[in-house]
Chains A and B, each alone.
Chain A
């Protein structure tokens, strides 16, 4: 019952946010229609960040308690998180070109996001290439923890790096954050809500499915 209700609510929220993005929200003056990518980019960046934190937290929990449930949670968050990260990266690249004039720059946040995406990939790749079992789950959790410890260092290094390597092209977004008017803000919040709902639902399905497969081979 709860499940059906969840699907219906998410579907409604999702449709409403689509309507808001394409029909309701006014077009931003400086950037034009392209700015609407914001409503996709920000929510997915948000959920992939949630996923990173969740993977690290559940991995630590798993190492501390040895309860396979937390390992399953970490894996499921990583799997959905990596998809969210792809959406975030691609939408960001598509958006940067008309706004900044380049697809990619050496900006600290971008570098960190990309590297974290690779660490996610390595984590998942390790899980599928190492013989299944308790050892694999423990090492995977250790990799997640190492990744989590490494990420602030990466961000810091990328910031120092950026100081000597100024951005190639300076666009309107880079100098100052454009202020969102209330309608845009509401639309953005709605999109964050809808993507979060979809994300949580997907993670939940993934956990169930991994639990089922896990019973067979872990």
Chain B
């Protein structure tokens, strides 16, 4: 058991080390989503008049789309240099490869989101940061990272990766996206969603179902 934890941290640190050198994932998520958020701010006459649910939609839509583009970057190099195959040749359980990717993407996404929230707060003159929203972000990022890692691995060998990945993960993520937008928009309006418990329950079950399912299926998609 201790070995597995050591191995998992070695693999996760490896991804973080690679990202520190290339900075591809961070630049993609942060630049792309700032672009989306600021485009909405520039093209609306008065950002104060934007309804809360639209604002929350802008934040999370920008996270989903920039995240799915970054996911492609995250996997492209692994496939190009066949380092994913290198890991498959090593004595590493498939599940650990999946978890290490999930964790490192989770870390990248969470850090980038803080930048996105800050940008949104500035442009729309609101305060996005609150306990509820941060909790929402953690639950959302976990589900997004697991689904993204799984489908990122799948599409890495396909044509038109970007389109295909977005088309695959956005519909599946809809329940999580609804959850995130609901909690965030209530918070932007200065109140708490009345269904907050149901939503958190739903989102956490979503995360658990998908992490278990995708961990089980991951071995089947990497082997030929």
Interface residues of A (CB under 8 A from B): 111, 115-116, 118-119, 121-122, 125-126, 129-131, 134-135, 138-139, 142-143, 146-147, 149-150, 153-154, 156-158, 160-161, 163-164
From B178, B220, B224, A142 is in contact (CB under 8 Å) with B220
Provided the pairs A129-B159, A129-B160 are in contact, do residues A160 and B220 lie with their beta carbons within 8 angstroms? no
- Dominant SS at the A interface? helix
In angstroms, Cα B224 to Cα A163, docked, is 46
**B 202-224 binary contact with A (CB < 8 Å = 1; else 0):** 10011001000110010011001
What chain B residues lie within 8 Å of A121 (beta carbons)? 167
Q: Residues on B close to A: CB < 8 A?
A: 154-155, 157-160, 163-164, 167-168, 170-172, 174-175, 178-179, 182, 193-195, 198-199, 202, 205-206, 209, 213-214, 217, 220-221, 224
With beta carbons under 8 angstroms apart, the residue of B158, B174, B193, B213 that contacts A146 is B213
Whole-angstrom distance from the CB of B197 to the nearest CB of chain A? Answer: 11
From B167, B171, B202, contact of A157 by CB (8 A): B202
Residues of A within 8 A of B159 (CB): 129-130
Q: Is the CB of B217 within 8 A of A160?
A: no
**A156 and B202 in contact, given A126-B164, A146-B213 (Cβ under 8 angstroms):** yes
Q: If A135-B224, A142-B217 touch, does A115 touch B174 (CB 8 Å cutoff)?
A: yes
Q: Are the C-beta atoms of B221 and A139 separated by less than 8 Å?
A: yes
Q: Which chain B positions have C-beta within 8 A of A156?
A: 175, 202
